[in-house]
Chains A and B, each alone.
Chain A
C-alpha cells in the first residue's frame, strides 16, 4: 500500500495526558499537511511541511500542539495536556511540491482522538 498511513487510528485518553500521532506520507511527496476535523465540520488546516521545514501554522495550533518532520519523511503531531475540546479526527495529507503535482491532497484514514 503506497497511500498515506496514520497511526494510531483511534486513541482514547484522559484529560491532561499527552498524545502523539504519526503520519507516513506517500514516499515521493515532499509536502505534508495536518488537519483537524470535528463532528459535523469540514477539515481545518493546522500546519504543513515542505521536506523538514514547517512553513505555515494555523492559529488553531495552540502552544500545546507541536508537529515535527525531522527527516522530511514521516511526521508526528503531539498534543500536550489534552483537553476535552481536543477530541477530533486528526487527518494527515501529502502532496508533491506545487508545479510537480495536480494540486490535490492525498489523505490518510485519520486518527480519532477522544479525550475523557
Chain B
C-alpha cells in the first residue's frame, strides 16, 4: 500500500514570490506521482505527473516538481506565484502494479496568494 504526507496544511505567500509545497510518500513498490489542483467547489485538475525518466517534471501554469527517490519526496514549486494560483493542491501516488490506476491522495495544502 502507498501513502502520502503533505506536511503543510496552509501556505500563505505574497504574489510574485516563489513557493514550495511539500510532499513525501511511502511505498514498498515503485510509484507514479501526481500533483492535482482543486479550485473551490470544483473537481481536481492534473498539474503534472512523474512516471519515469527525468526527475524534474514541468506542468501547467508554470509549476514544476522534482522526484527524489532517496528522500521519497515530490515537492511542487513555482518561481513566481499569481493571485489566481490560490487553490488547494493535492499530491497523489500510485503503485506500478495492482489497484488499477487507483490514486492515494494526501490531505492537501491550501495555497493562499496575497497581494
Q: Is the pair B102, A48 in contact by a Cβ cutoff of 8 Å? A: yes
* A41: B residues at CB distance < 8 A: 107-108
B-chain residues with CB within 8 Å of residue A101 when the two chains form the complex: 101
Tell me if B105 and A56 are in contact (CB < 8 A).
no
* Closest CB in chain B relative to A78 CB, distance in Å: 21
B68 within 8 A of A: no
User: Is A69's beta carbon under 8 Å from chain B?
Assistant: no
Q: Provide the residues of chain B in CB contact with A110, threshold 8 Å.
A: 41-43
Where the two chains meet, the residues of B that have a C-beta atom closer than 8 Å to any C-beta of A are 4, 6, 9, 32, 34, 36, 41-46, 49, 51, 90, 92, 94, 99-108
User: Residues of A with Cβ closer than 8 Å to B?
Assistant: 4, 31, 33, 40-45, 48, 50, 55-56, 91, 93, 95, 98, 101-110, 112
- The contact sample of 24 A-B pairs, CB cut-off 8 A, is A31-B100, A33-B100, A33-B101, A40-B9, A42-B6, A42-B90, A42-B92, A42-B107, A43-B90, A48-B100, A48-B102, A95-B101, A98-B100, A98-B101, A103-B32, A103-B34, A103-B49, A103-B51, A104-B34, A104-B101, A105-B101, A106-B46, A107-B43, A112-B41
